[in-house]
């Protein structure tokens, strides 16, 4: 798998926002995970593009403090950053985009993939895929109302009977979006089954807009294989980056240090920069427990994490547990985080 060459970047789209991507291996948005600290870490690990967790456009006005924190962007980033919004009203998204712009983010990404009931009930997330004509009006209104570039992330449709992906990609193109990221599952699938890369390739072959493929990429070899075989313009990696935060370095063949210890130390430094002591501790415990997944003694280690009362205690246990090893392989049939907002 590793022998498949990364397509030369010169062959990629040369215009618009896409041309500013650092490489063709991107971080997928993940709620509760791709906050400012995780994005900063992924920037250091050479992810091509960074996207925040989904942020409620309405929440920005009702629960401003907490929601605005979700949109923070680390300074001096090398990779471009998008803030992902969701909402049922184009006007709310236009207003929220003003705040996105003020964070220094490079673009606004609209979530058209969230399968969660609370979100689709309001006509947001994946519900917008059910009516491509309305989707075009919705996205065109947003596009006209904002100054920064607009992108979208979607699923392949509502269910097997409503595979609207071709029409929705056309709607995104007609509205002036910069690219479409496709998680190759329907809303009905949730996280079950496999992402449909044949369909992603078919959409790419017909699309007039850059297509980013997403779903079930668990290691660098698979990322390169999907890129080469489906001919998408870039790939997006979610859970694979959580299990192995060094995955983007491996994708581009960089020799940057990616031991678990080094990764956790970097992450802790970032947590100290952006959060208070209590929240930094919560995030550090969670992250260390994720990285331990699959290691012998992981269950005991995870339990011990939640008994730690300070970050220093966590780090002591981390140093003893990981002893410099690389993250373990993330196997194809392993179930890991089978739920999320896209
Ligand atoms: C915990 C979790 C949270 C997620 N949150 C979001 C989100 O906020 N916005 C979004 O568009 N997708 C979200 N997703 C979906 C991912 O971006 C991605 O499409 C999906 O996980 C498939 O890619 P993967 O197999 O590489 O993880 C989430 C997924 C997970 C596992």
Does the pLDDT value for residue 49 go beyond 80? yes
Residue 3: per-residue pLDDT: 40
* Dihedral angle, C-alpha 230, 231, 233, 239, nearest 10 °: 30
Counting ligand 1 atoms within 8 A of each CB, the residue from 26, 28, 113 with the most, and so the one to mutate, is: 28
Read off the pLDDT band of 53 (50, 70, 90): very high
| Cα–ligand 1 centroid distance for 16 (angstroms) | 25
Q: What is the mean pLDDT of residues 8-24?
A: 77
**Is 264 or 116 the better-scoring residue by pLDDT?**
264
Q: Which tens digit of pLDDT belongs to each residue from 213-270?
A: 999 999 999 999 999 999 999 999 999 999 999 999 999 999 887 899 999 999 999 9
Q: Domain 15-252's class?
A: alpha beta
Does the pLDDT value for residue 82 go beyond 90? yes
Does the pLDDT value for residue 9 go beyond 70? no
Does the pLDDT value for residue 1 go beyond 70? no
| Cα–ligand 1 centroid distance for 34 (angstroms) | 10
Residue 14: per-residue pLDDT: 67
Residue 6: per-residue pLDDT: 45
Handedness of CA 117, 121, 126, 127 (dihedral sign): positive
Handedness of CA 229, 153, 180, 15 (dihedral sign): negative
Q: Rounded CA gap, 44 and 47, in Å?
A: 8
Residue 86: per-residue pLDDT: 94
Say what angle helices 298-305 and 311-322 make with each other, to 10 degrees: 170
Ligand 1 atom closest to Cα of 109?
11
Q: Rounded CA gap, 103 and 83, in Å?
A: 9
Q: Taking Cα atoms as reference points, which of 303, 309, 313, 319 lies closest to residue 278? A: 309
| Cα–ligand 1 centroid distance for 243 (angstroms) | 13
Residue 113 in contact with ligand 1 by CB distance below 6 A = yes
Q: What is the mean pLDDT of residues 34-48?
A: 97
DSSP 259-287: -HHHHHHHHHHHHHHHS-HHHHHHHHHHH
Read off the pLDDT band of 341 (50, 70, 90): confident
Residue 314, helix vs strand vs coil: helix
| Cα–ligand 1 centroid distance for 90 (angstroms) | 23
Residue 333: per-residue pLDDT: 81
Residue 153 in contact with ligand 1 by CB distance below 6 A = yes
Residue 111 in contact with ligand 1 by CB distance below 6 A = yes
Task: Of 10-14, 26-30, 223-227, 231-235, give the lowest mean pLDDT range.
Answer: 10-14
Q: Taking Cα atoms as reference points, which of 341, 48, 27, 315 lies closest to residue 191? A: 341
Q: What is the mean pLDDT of residues 146-153?
A: 98
Residue 217 in contact with ligand 1 by CB distance below 6 A = yes
Q: What is the mean pLDDT of residues 102-118?
A: 93
Residue 239 in contact with ligand 1 by CB distance below 6 A = yes
Q: Rounded CA gap, 78 and 41, in Å?
A: 11
Residue 13: per-residue pLDDT: 66
Q: Taking Cα atoms as reference points, which of 202, 134, 140 lies closest to residue 174? A: 140
Residue 185 in contact with ligand 1 by CB distance below 6 A = no
Ligand 1 atom closest to Cα of 183?
19
Q: Which residues have a Cβ under 8 Å from the Cβ of 218 and sit 6 or more positions away?
A: 239, 240, 243, 329, 330, 331, 332
The rounded Cα 58 to chain-centroid distance in angstroms is 21
- Region(s) of the chain under CATH 3.20.20.70: 15-252
Residue 302: per-residue pLDDT: 94
Residue 79 in contact with ligand 1 by CB distance below 6 A = no
Residue 28 in contact with ligand 1 by CB distance below 6 A = yes
Candidate list 37, 114, 177, 260, residue with the active-site label: 114
Does the pLDDT value for residue 10 go beyond 90? no
Decide if 140 contacts 108 (C-beta within 8 A): no
Residue 12: per-residue pLDDT: 58
Q: Which residues have a Cβ under 8 Å from the Cβ of 108 and sit 6 or more positions away?
A: 82, 83, 84, 85, 93, 97, 100, 142, 146, 148, 149, 150, 151
Counting ligand 1 atoms within 8 A of each CB, the residue from 29, 187, 293 with the most, and so the one to mutate, is: 29
Q: Rounded CA gap, 108 and 100, in Å?
A: 7
Q: What is the mean pLDDT of residues 78-83?
A: 98
Residue 20: per-residue pLDDT: 96
pTM metric for this prediction = 0.94
Read off the pLDDT band of 5 (50, 70, 90): very low
Q: What is the average pLDDT score of the chain? A: 92
Beta bridge partners of 46: none
Q: Kindly state the tokens that stand for 114.
A: 């969230």
Is 37 assigned a catalytic role? Answer: no
Q: What is the mean pLDDT of residues 15-42?
A: 96
For residues 312-328, b (16+ Cβ closer than 10 Å) or e, as one string?
ebbbebbeebbeeeebb
């Amino acid at each position: 798998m590793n022998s498949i060459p990364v397509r030369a970047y010169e062959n990629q789209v040369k215009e618009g926002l896409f041309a500013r991507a650092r490489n063709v291996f991107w971080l997928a948005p993940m709620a509760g995970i791709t906050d400012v600290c995780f994005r900063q870490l992924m920037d250091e690990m050479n992810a091509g593009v960074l996207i925040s967790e989904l942020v409620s456009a309405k929440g920005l006005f009702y629960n401003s403090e907490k929601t605005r924190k979700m949109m923070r962007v680390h300074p001096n980033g090398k990779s471009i950053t998008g803030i992902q919004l969701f909402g049922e009203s184009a006007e709310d998204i236009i207003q929220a985009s003003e705040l996105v712009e003020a964070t220094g983010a490079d673009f606004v990404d609209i979530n058209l993939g969230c399968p969660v009931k609370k979100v689709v009930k309001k006509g947001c997330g994946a519900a917008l895929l059910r009516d491509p004509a309305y989707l075009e009006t919705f996205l065109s209104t947003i596009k006209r109302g904002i100054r920064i570039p607009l992108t979208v992330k979607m699923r392949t449709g509502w269910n097997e009977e409503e595979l609207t992906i071709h029409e929705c990609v056309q709607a995104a193109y007609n509205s002036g979006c910069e690219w479409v990221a496709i998680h190759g599952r329907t809303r009905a699938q949730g996280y079950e089954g496999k992402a449909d890369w044949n369909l992603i390739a078919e959409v790419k072959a017909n699309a007039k807009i850059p297509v980013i493929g997403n779903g079930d990429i668990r290691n660098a070899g698979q990322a390169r294989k999907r890129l080469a075989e489906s001919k998408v313009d870039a790939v997006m990696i979610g859970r694979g980056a959580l299990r192995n935060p060094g995955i983007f370095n491996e994708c581009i063949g960089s020799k940057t240090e990616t031991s678990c210890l080094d990764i956790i130390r970097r992450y802790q430094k970032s947590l100290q920069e952006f959060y208070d002591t209590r929240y930094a501790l919560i995030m550090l415990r969670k992250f260390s427990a994720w990285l331990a997944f699959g290691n012998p003694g992981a269950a005991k280690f995870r339990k011990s994490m939640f008994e730690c009362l300070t970050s220093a205690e966590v780090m002591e246990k981390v140093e003893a547990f990981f002893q410099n090893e690389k993250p373990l392989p993330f196997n194809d049939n392993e179930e890991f985080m089978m739920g999320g907002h896209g």
